[in-house]
Amino acid sequence: MGYNYWNGTEAAHRRVMMKAAGYSDEDIRQKPHIGIPNSYMAGSPGTAHLRQVTEAVKEGIWAAGGIPVEFGIPATCGNVANGADEMKYEQVGRDIVAMSIEFVSRIHNFDAICCVASCDLIIAGCYLAACRLDIPALVVTGGSMQAGNYCGKTVVEADLDAARFSGASEAELLEESVCPSFGACPSMGTANTMQMLGEVLNLVMPGTSTIPASDNARLRAARTAGKYMVQLARSGKTPKDLITKDVLENAIMFDMAVAVLHILAYAYELGIKLTLADFEKYAKEIYCINAVIPSGPYTVVDFHYAGGVKQVMKQLAGKIHTDAPTIYGDTTWGELLDSVKSAPNKVIHSLEDPVAKEPGLKIMRGNISPAGAIVRPTAVYEEVKYIKGAAKVYECDQDAYRAIMAGEIVAGDILVIRYEGCKGAPGMKELMLSIDALIGLGLDKKVGLITDARFSGFNYGAIVGHVSPEAYDGGVIAL
């Protein structure tokens, strides 16, 4: 604990700043200082409710004897930039968020941090900051949005994305129906997969990552997390203690059952060797057992009430490292799962009866991607699991989109979109524009797509992304 930093005459200039901000002398001198990076942002349903969630976290910290120090961090809604050149900023945002948290936390010498975040690269950046800072850390998630309902049919935001290009009128786009509450869009996009991953990485309290934003259990869980944050701060246990190689391998296995990225970046920050070979190994052993859109018909809200992350880990108990530590430090994952009843269901299947006999994510290598590429097998239709055709090559998402809308892409074509990788875009854009157009025009079961860019968890079809080396680096895809 950094009590010496705040005590004595030499620390008077620090204390006076805290006092001027409203903190008492006793609190400043004697209690753990806990930074609260809050990703509240009024322009997105995934973040517009986080002030209330953050207040609950702060209440818990005060109640347990700590000092919460809230500060803002950058937050965006990736869906706003979909299809625009500005999407190139989104992936870079992960590292900007991490640096923002690191910058404030180092200057203010926090004893611990408790981030509040929901969506996409923002929550990914919070995890990255936790690994980099190596002080006791938690992340409280904002939870999932409720699915919409239109004339008795379940609808989600991804339905609107594709409908834009189907010839539907504005009235038929379901704008008033697909996003009915706060929270992350309830498909297996980056936001929800990253929230779930936090539990496996020992950064989010078990059983809480997917509590819907509309469920008041979200606030109760935030308050409990605040209390535990003080306990964790006093224990001195940091992500380097709690995120071991076994924990990261468990995350990969969860990844195969559910599908999520960013794990390699966390391993790098923690000084743990992890490569694509580790993903390839577990892709051969773990099939997808999560029937949430796009791998199945259900939403993340359904996933939560079907047992959530703990039920998935229970189904994986015969595969994961059960002796790996949990967020509680002195409890293993095996001990945590002893209290979880195995209850496979229509949303979370067993390994013996998977959603598909494919992993949630697979590494591919070939003549175009000698260093690897990524596909989401459970989102690929049977009709295009094998596809052979003419390559139609475009230098950016917008050019490919214009070709699709002009009727230049037909059944049997292979769409190649390059120079959209980390360096080429720059920033590794998400190709929502072209992919949504393919879906909206009914070409997703007839056309293949290969790219050095990334794609959304909302997407489905024969999409191979993250081709490496990318075109900018002279990869084969540039020929």
Catalytic site positions: 456
Can you point out the beta strands (E) in 118-226?
Answer: 137-141, 148-150, 153-155
Distances (CA, A) of 305 to 68, 293, 302, 334, 348: 31, 15, 5, 22, 10
Whole-Å CA distances, 26 to 31, 66, 134, 273: 8, 11, 27, 44
Question: DSSP string of 180-205?
Answer: -SSSB-SSSSHHHHHHHHHHHTTSS-
Please provide residue 113's backbone torsions phi and psi, each rounded to the nearest 5 degrees: -130, 145
Q: How many Å separate Cα 219 from the centre of its chain?
A: 21
Contacts of 427 (CB under 8 A, 6+ apart): 87, 88, 89, 90, 91, 92
> Is-contact 297 291, C-beta < 8 A?
yes
Structure tokens at 362: 């697979």
Contact 171, 151 (CB under 8 A): no
End-to-end alpha-carbon separation of the chain, Å? 56
257 by Cβ neighbours in 10 Å (0-12 / 13-18 / 19+) ranks as: buried
Amino acid code (one letter) for 349: H
Tokens 């703990």 correspond to what residue?
310
Q: Are 449 and 443 in contact (CB under 8 A)?
A: no
